[in-house]
Amino acid sequence: MFPECIECRGTKGMCGFDPCPLLAEVRVRLPQLEPTSVGELSGPSPPALFVGRYGYPDVRAGPSASWVPEAAQSGAATASVDPAELFGRPLEEVAAQHANLITGGRRMPVRSTASPDDVLEATQVIAMSSGSVDVEMDFERPIPIGGSPTFDSISTPLGPSGDVLRAEVVGHASIPRKVDSVAGETDLLATEAAGELTSSGIGEAQISRLLSSGLLGREGRRKLVPTRWGITATDDMLSKHLWSTVRDHPPLDKILVFKATYLDNRFHVILTPGLWAFHMLEAWTRGSVWTESGKVLGDWEDIEPRSEYAHRITGAYYSARLAVLEHMDSIRRSGACLVWRDIGPGYWAPVGVWLIRETMRQAMRATPMSFDSLEEAIGYVAPRVSAPNDLRDSWFVRRGKQTRLDAF
């Protein structure tokens, strides 16, 4: 383990080793299938797709479909349509959920959306579908099967992949009318499209698929978006859309503390009256996947959503902020928020930011504790987190002690 691990988290290759040795350790903890290989595939896509980021603006993109050996079909778990459906399951099951998904990719310019080939056309149909759809793929060479999925701190674990010669949707795709309408509307900004879709009940998982496959945005500006970027961009767009409404709600009249725990991720959320601010602190505790000694990271914004990427917390920041703004909009109140996330050694496999989004949503649905002052709320939360002094000396707490214009 290196000091850079907590910053890299297996995505930047800062140690010079490929693949990441820490994620290699994660993979050996998962059950292995009997080694084999496939040269062609006919199976259901959950729906799922993947757009890589290496080599941008030329990326590998294509659909993902399930492959399960006949001997294991009766007891095999089917990959979920929406990662949120995995919430509440054990980490071993969550980490292995997509191990039987095979992704067929082809390298193409991100601007290929203007004249998609057969692989991109199939990928876009899958992106639009609200349910499982049957896919056929022929691969350039047989793909080895039987290993463990690869992991990413933003997206769900990914099974084996290979270059695809042909990809075709052979089953019926159930495409919601609103999705079809928005995908066909070429004079609509991606942010506006995301707002319309979520207002029609389309979840962020499908919105991010549409964005990644180049189906959102104005004509001439549509392009493929790498999957991990698309997930964060979707959370960012949806939360900014909510913020524009929440800021006009009347302020909270008390300080509230929410909490929730899942897979050794422990969240404490403090909502306060006042102008909008959001501060998220992540404490990777001793023995957690990216650090041996423990490390606290933080990002924040004041008055309005940040324009610079939250490079310390990364995608988790935007997922947590979305859950908070959803709650504020649901209760028709405005205010500020501090999120503390403790990550323990029990979270030994990163499975994507959906975990943060869904655990935060669970926290915001719970009955909160009420306090008369921020000092009292911090006094309650501090002994319950791994680094109480970092909480007491945080930007959010120091901000709360300053005299603000809205106090007069």
> What is the per-residue pLDDT for 159?
87
Domain boundary among 139, 169, 199: 169
Geometric angle at alpha carbon 169, from 137 and 70, rounded to 5° = 55
Whole-angstrom distance, CA of residue 213 vs CA of residue 231 = 12
Whole-angstrom distance, CA of residue 332 vs CA of residue 252 = 9
Tell me, yes or no, whether 8 lies in a domain.
no
Q: 223 pLDDT exceeds 70?
A: yes
Domain boundary among 169, 189, 212: 169
Same domain, 367 and 312: yes
Tell me the pLDDT tens digit for each residue of 126-138: 999 999 999 999 9
Provide φ and ψ at 375, rounded to 5°: -60, -45
Tell me, yes or no, whether 11 lies in a domain.
no
Domain boundary among 216, 246, 276: 246
The confidence band for 99, taking pLDDT boundaries of 50, 70 and 90, is confident
- Structurally, how many domains does the chain consist of? 3
Whole-angstrom distance, CA of residue 380 vs CA of residue 378 = 5
CATH number (domain holding residue 151) = 2.40.50
The confidence band for 28, taking pLDDT boundaries of 50, 70 and 90, is low
Whole-angstrom distance, CA of residue 253 vs CA of residue 335 = 9
Same domain, 282 and 369: yes
> What is the per-residue pLDDT for 336?
98
Find the mean pLDDT for residues 118-133: 96
- Write the DSSP string, 152-211: -SSSPPB--EEEEEEEEE-S-----HHHHHHHH-TTS-HHHHHHHHHHTT--HHHHHHHH
> What is the per-residue pLDDT for 402?
66
> What is the per-residue pLDDT for 97?
78
Domain with 236 in it:
177-246
DSSP strand pairing (48-51 vs 369-371): unpaired
The confidence band for 83, taking pLDDT boundaries of 50, 70 and 90, is confident
The confidence band for 330, taking pLDDT boundaries of 50, 70 and 90, is very high
Identity of the amino acid at 382? A
Find the mean pLDDT for residues 218-247: 97
DSSP 3-state helix, strand, coil percentages of the chain (rounded to 5)? 35, 25, 40
Selected residue with higher pLDDT from 106 and 145: 106
Give the chain's length: 408
Tell me the pLDDT tens digit for each residue of 46-71: 999 999 999 999 999 999 998 865 44
Q: Which residue has the tokens 């649901």?
A: 330
Whole-angstrom distance, CA of residue 26 vs CA of residue 28 = 6
The confidence band for 323, taking pLDDT boundaries of 50, 70 and 90, is very high
> What is the per-residue pLDDT for 82?
80
Tell me, yes or no, whether 301 lies in a domain.
yes
Same domain, 240 and 259: no
Tell me the pLDDT tens digit for each residue of 381-390: 999 999 999 9
> What is the per-residue pLDDT for 304?
97
Q: 38 pLDDT exceeds 50?
A: yes
Same domain, 331 and 207: no
Which residues, including other chains, have CB under 8 Å from residue 195's CB and lie 6 or more apart?
237, 238, 241
Instruction: For residue 284, give both structure tokens.
Output: 């990777």
Kindly give the residue spans of alpha helices, DSSP state H, lying in 216-340: 227-246, 315-331
At residue 249, the 3 state secondary structure works out as coil
Contact between residue 168 and residue 120 where contact means Cβ atoms under 8 Å apart: no
